[in-house]
Amino acid sequence: MEQSSPKHIAILGSTGSIGTQALEVVAQHRDDFSIEVLSANGNADLLIEQAKAFQPNAVVICDDSKWDYVRDALDPHDIKVYAGPEALEQVVQMDPIDIVLTAIVGFAGLKSTIKAIEAGKHIALANKETLVVAGDIITMLAQEHGVNIYPVDSEHSAIFQCLVGEFHNPIEKIYLTASGGPFRGRTREELAHVTKAQALKHPNWEMGAKITIDSATLMNKGLEVIEAKWLFNLRTEQIDVIVHPQSIIHSIVQFEDSSMKAQMGLPDMRVPIQFALGYPHRMKSDFPRFNFLDYPQLTFEQPDRQTFRNLDFAFVALDKGGNQACSLNAANEIAVAAFLRDEVSFLGISDVIEQAMQKTAFVQQPTLEDYLATDAEARRYATEAIGILS
């Protein structure tokens, strides 16, 4: 990659699946990237290990009860140690940072992303919930501050890669591909007794627990539909989802002349991470290469939106607009956490989301304060629904 000095990167959520793979990318390109900030929610030991290896200027441990432990471990390395969510919102504004990789899972990533944009930092977006919850505010702020948002989700990265050199050509339609998750083809009756262990076994991708469950319910694809609307300025009817069990074609763009572009490759999150961090350059890698002879057939199916209702909820939220996607996301976070604690069934996740979306007050043109209030309200209704269902 030809550049005069390394890009200075902040990785929010460095101990999670995306964060650890991003550090693998950085380790392969030490001359091109410099780590400025690392953050973790509560995994202090891994954060300490990462900080010693990459020598950032600062780290943030969001669980402030672990601040002393992290500070003492890193004191000999002259690395600043901060604690708490507010500290995260402050460090992303540090002058040396060029790009912020937002890999915090869920609504928790919203405020720090906003602060980074307001400080003029480019965003490598792995936290899809940021755009799901407040896409209108985020895109407006990015335009106002001249900030680029580079998608890290494999599907949105695929769309972005297909659009390079085509930005002047209107999109007719996009197809987001979905693996179908571990329960593709199952009926509601078959899903009634799904266990947590079964739901956490994704056929193609290695991801964190929350995203893996979202993939099993197809909520992950639903959130990606909403994210795509904001990233690429699309209408609902321009977005389609197609099940592609092999996960080789990561997404497709159809143009007005009927031509289609697809981005392909083995399922490996390091590829979209590296593309986002290195853009506009394609950087050399030693990642495994795709062989057509290993995949003699690539197949496609329609998703079952009646069985996997979460995908349908996302389209409903997208059509209704306002704060509806915010309530969808909040209820889903509560429901998935309850499922992982064995407090609600797999099918019960959708029931919880439906009840919370119906009860949460609708706001047509929400402010950031409205989004924060909606998030809290939907979480409360979702928690009540879990109590009734369990």
Give per-residue pLDDT as tens, 346-371. Answer: 999 999 999 999 999 999 999 999 99
Report whether 152 contacts 270 (CB < 8 A). no
Report whether 52 contacts 72 (CB < 8 A). no
Residue 285 one-letter amino acid: S
pTM: 0.93
Report whether 49 contacts 82 (CB < 8 A). no
pLDDT tier at 138, thresholds 50, 70, 90: very high
The CATH number that applies at residue 31 is 3.40.50.720
- Average per-residue pLDDT in the chain? 95
What are residue 37's phi and psi, to 5 degrees? Answer: -140, 140
Domain count, the chain: 3
For tokens 């031509």, the residue is 259
Least confident window among 166-180, 197-211, 239-253, 281-295: 197-211
| pLDDT in the model for residue 108 | 80
Residue 376 is classified by DSSP as H
Burial class (CB in 10 A: 0-12, 13-18, 19+), 200: middle
Residues 6+ apart with CB under 8 A from 356: 327, 330, 331, 334, 378, 379, 381, 382, 385
Last residue of a domain, one of 98, 116, 151: 151
Residue 301 is classified by DSSP as B
| pLDDT in the model for residue 202 | 76
pLDDT tier at 201, thresholds 50, 70, 90: confident
Confirm whether 145 is domain-assigned: yes
Domain range for 247 is 153-269+288-319
Q: Please state the rounded mean pLDDT for residues 219-243.
A: 97
Span 262-272, pLDDT tens digits? 999 999 999 99
Query: What does the block give as tokens for 31?
Result: 């001359």
Span 289-303, pLDDT tens digits? 999 999 999 999 999
* pLDDT at residue 207 tops 80: no
Residue 211 sits in the same domain as residue 315:
yes
Query: What does the block give as tokens for 11?
Result: 């990785």
Span 6-25, pLDDT tens digits? 999 999 999 999 999 999 99
Residue 228 sits in the same domain as residue 332:
no
Residue 178 sits in the same domain as residue 90:
no
Cα 349 to chain centroid, rounded: 19
Residue 311 sits in the same domain as residue 328:
no
* pLDDT at residue 1 tops 70: no
Report whether 63 contacts 108 (CB < 8 A). no
Residue 115 sits in the same domain as residue 190:
no
Residue 89 sits in the same domain as residue 112:
yes
| pLDDT in the model for residue 390 | 67
The CATH number that applies at residue 333 is 1.10.1740.10
